[in-house]
Amino acid sequence: MLRGPMTVKLYRYLEDAAGRWPDKIAVQEVDGSFITYRELDRLSDRMRDRLVELGIRPGDRVGFWIRKSIDAVATIFGVLKAGAAYVPMDPTAPPTRNNYILADCGVAVIVIENRFEPMLIAEPSAQGAYPAILVIGGAGGGVHLRAMLDEKDRHAEAPSAVSAPVRPEDLAFVLYTSGSTGRPKGVQLSHLNAVSFVEWCAEIFALLPTDRFSSHAPFHFDLSVFDIFSAAKHGGTLVLIGEEVGKQPLELAHLIADLEITIWYSAPSILSLMAQFGELESRNFSSLRFVLFAGEVFPVAHLRSLVKYWPHPRYFNLYGPTETNVCTFYEVPTPIPEDRTEPMPIGKVCSHLEGILIDADGRAVEKGTEGELCIRGSGVTRGYWNLPEQSRKCFVEVAGATYYRTGDIAKEEPSGNLRYLGRSDRMIKKRGFRVELGEIEVCLYRHTGVREAAVVALADDTLGMRVHAHVVSKDGRTLSLIEMKTFCSEHIPIYMIPDRFSFHPSLPKTSTDKVDYQTLKFWSGG
């Protein structure tokens, strides 16, 4: 699949596109501002030169705290060209969380919008030095990043550097996901991990230079890997969709039609909302060629409705944790029968990977028997940043080969397709994001008025998953909903905040005095 070791550099996709399609629009924002491939390549070169001048070397990490924009895309490619790994912050997350990530990952440079600078607490990196900070005046059109670089050059021009000769195994980015200990954990992804996935996409999907790729997922979410790098590989246009528009089904539907998106990729939740509230019958969506969804189960009723409105695209269910990106796929046959109630299968393992199902003892199960899905191959992470013990536990050796344990329970059907059955732990997917229920509980216990807290999740046709927090206060009073949601917003991302809170004199316990989560699910209506 890969043409040779020299192709296993993510930034080569941009360099090749700039050579083949220099004047083609590479990235477009919803306000109409855009940048060509030649301009994006040059702007990312300037970012590379500045980072190298600041001392960035291969293996370093560079954090960026910037809203989704051309400025952010150019920063990503500049970091990669310098041989470093990019570490994206969630601009909507609590500052405490972002500061923890920057410190945990030991970033050497932080690129940050001026609006977020007051929230930044610079701490020594893993090497003991304080990170350099590059402040840009805003985000949009690439003008702010360019202005910052111009200003720096007026004081001391950065010497021209060459893009780093990275190796396939070198770190390309670190994406932080929810952690069961109450702290986010960084998934390490190499150039080979990402490139093998992008090359697999090129085999499966007939992507073209005329395609217009949606960028609905935020850059700290693994779905963005497809958006950014598949668009660059094929010379397509990446259309950036910000957080505000991305949550509004009617506005989003209009945007897809008006900007003639051809490749859509998102979590099912927003597609469900568009099917219900997007007034899809009122617009022309004939440009759509592919609708890709991943990150959570797509309720069949809403998928069926969407297909009725959009009958012409090809639909794919893509499955995989951040640690593997997409590892199985299934093309949805359309139309969907009216009597179908079961969710779509997650399909078969991608060609650049291998998968097996194992039992509780770590042995491969027979066909048709449920087991934990384990994956190995070029797309699989090396582990978690600065968490060697947790990394070790996530891998298992079966018949002399090492596999990543996804924690997902599946079963192979007679057709050869895998069907997702659930989790072996307390991790869920909400709006496509990984959510460890234990991290929400840790957050609740930080509240000075909380004595006990337990969180359960239930399937919900509208929300995908509904998170319900059960709380016992220290003095018996009912804490206000506003107080609890405000407190949570200061410690965890918005998508992790419980949808419902219930207050009790005590929580149900098992015979071993542990929280009885099954009873709590019953209390929650499950």
Whether 413 has a pLDDT exceeding 70, the answer reads yes
Whether 378 has a pLDDT exceeding 70, the answer reads yes
d(CA 8, CA 195): 6
The least confident of 213-217, 275-279, 383-387, 429-433 is 429-433
- Check: CB of residue 424 under 8 Å from CB of residue 409: yes
Chain segment 313-358, per-residue pLDDT in tens: 999 999 999 999 999 999 999 999 999 888 899 999 999 999 999 9
Is 370 exposed, middle or buried, given 0-12, 13-18 or 19+ CB atoms closer than 10 A? middle
Q: What homologous superfamily does CATH list for 5-246?
A: ANL, N-terminal domain (3.40.50.12780)
In the 8-state DSSP scheme, what is residue 413?
Answer: -
Is the peptide bond preceding residue 22 cis, with omega within 30 degrees of 0? no
- Tell me, rounded to whole angstroms, the distance of Cα 138 from its chain centroid: 23
3-state helix, strand, coil in the chain (%, to 5): 30, 25, 40
Provide the residue type at 207 as one letter: L
Question: DSSP string covering 139-166, please?
Answer: -STTHHHHHHHHHHHHHSPPPP------
Query: What band does 526 get if pLDDT is binned at 50, 70 and 90?
Result: low
CATH number of 353-423: 2.30.38.10
Query: What band does 423 get if pLDDT is binned at 50, 70 and 90?
Result: confident
d(CA 388, CA 402): 16
Query: What band does 231 get if pLDDT is binned at 50, 70 and 90?
Result: very high
d(CA 50, CA 44): 10
Query: What sections of 387-478 are H helices per DSSP?
Result: 388-393, 437-445
Give Rg (Cα) of the chain. Answer: 23
For residue 352, which phi and psi values (nearest 5 degrees)? Answer: -90, 5
- The residue ranges of every structural domain in the chain are 5-246, 353-423, 427-523
Residue 213 DSSP SS3: strand
CATH architecture of 427-523: 2-Layer Sandwich (3.30)
d(CA 460, CA 479): 25
